């Protein structure tokens, strides 16, 4: 995958890009969230993305976060259109016992968060983001082979040209280095539904 096609929406304080490997060191108090429940709006996480108008594809990336250690430290996959319309999938550190593997979908300025707890010893995760027109699927994998569905969603503003890629942030007073490797763009792995037909 040609990382020269990627651009920073917001650059991190420190990053290295070499041989298909991207490392990002987060700054404290960086995050993506809009309104729901907490009522605050955070929109300053570094985001590294490419642009496409391809309507059917899958994007794969492996994340490594050996250094994450503070509540809410996170890194993962993202599709960031603007501050009010985006989605992300990540592992978010919670404490020495567990982390949250989850996804956030933000439509028209309101975020939601769907999570499941995983052990705090997990320090690497693969993600696959698939697009079928204006619908999207986020999957995760511990080995890059066996994929588990995390989320199917609709993006209200996601039907045309989009941007997608990676992000990392530390919402509280923390910093860590996230590493992204094995990025690939493939044919859409999320196949058409073979059950009930559309109305």
- Residue 7's pLDDT is 96
d(CA 2, CA 166): 14
Write out pLDDT tens, residues 21-74.
999 999 999 999 999 998 989 999 999 999 999 999 999 999 999 999 999 999
Section 129-142 average pLDDT: 98
CATH of domain 3-186: 2.60.120.200
pLDDT tens digits, 78-100: 999 999 999 999 999 999 999 99
Looking at residue 143, its pLDDT comes to: 96
Please work out, in degrees rounded to the nearest 5, the angle formed at the alpha carbon of residue 108 by the alpha carbons of 76 and 111: 45
Specify the pTM.
Answer: 0.95
Domain ranges of the chain: 3-186
Question: Is the per-residue pLDDT at 8 higher than 90?
Answer: yes
């Amino acid at each position: 995958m040609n990382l020269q096609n990627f651009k920073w929406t917001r650059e991190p304080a420190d990053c290295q890009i070499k041989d298909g490997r991207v490392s990002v060191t987060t700054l404290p108090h960086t995050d993506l969230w809009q309104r729901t429940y907490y009522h605050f709006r955070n929109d300053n996480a570094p985001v590294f993305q490419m642009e496409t108008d391809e309507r059917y594809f899958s994007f794969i990336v492996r994340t490594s976060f050996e250094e994450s250690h503070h509540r809410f430290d996170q890194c993962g996959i993202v599709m960031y259109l603007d501050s009010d319309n985006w989605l992300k999938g990540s592992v978010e550190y919670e404490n020495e016992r567990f982390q949250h593997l989850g996804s956030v979908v933000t439509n028209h300025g309101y975020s939601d968060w769907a999570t499941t707890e995983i052990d705090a010893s997990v320090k690497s995760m693969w993600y696959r983001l698939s697009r079928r027109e204006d619908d999207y699927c986020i999957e995760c994998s511990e080995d890059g082979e066996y994929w588990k569905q995390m989320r199917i969603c609709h993006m209200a503003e996601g039907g045309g040209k989009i941007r997608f890629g990676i992000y990392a942030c530390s919402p509280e007073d923390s910093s860590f280095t996230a590493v992204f490797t094995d990025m690939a763009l493939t044919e859409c792995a999320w196949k058409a539904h073979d059950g009930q037909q559309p109305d």
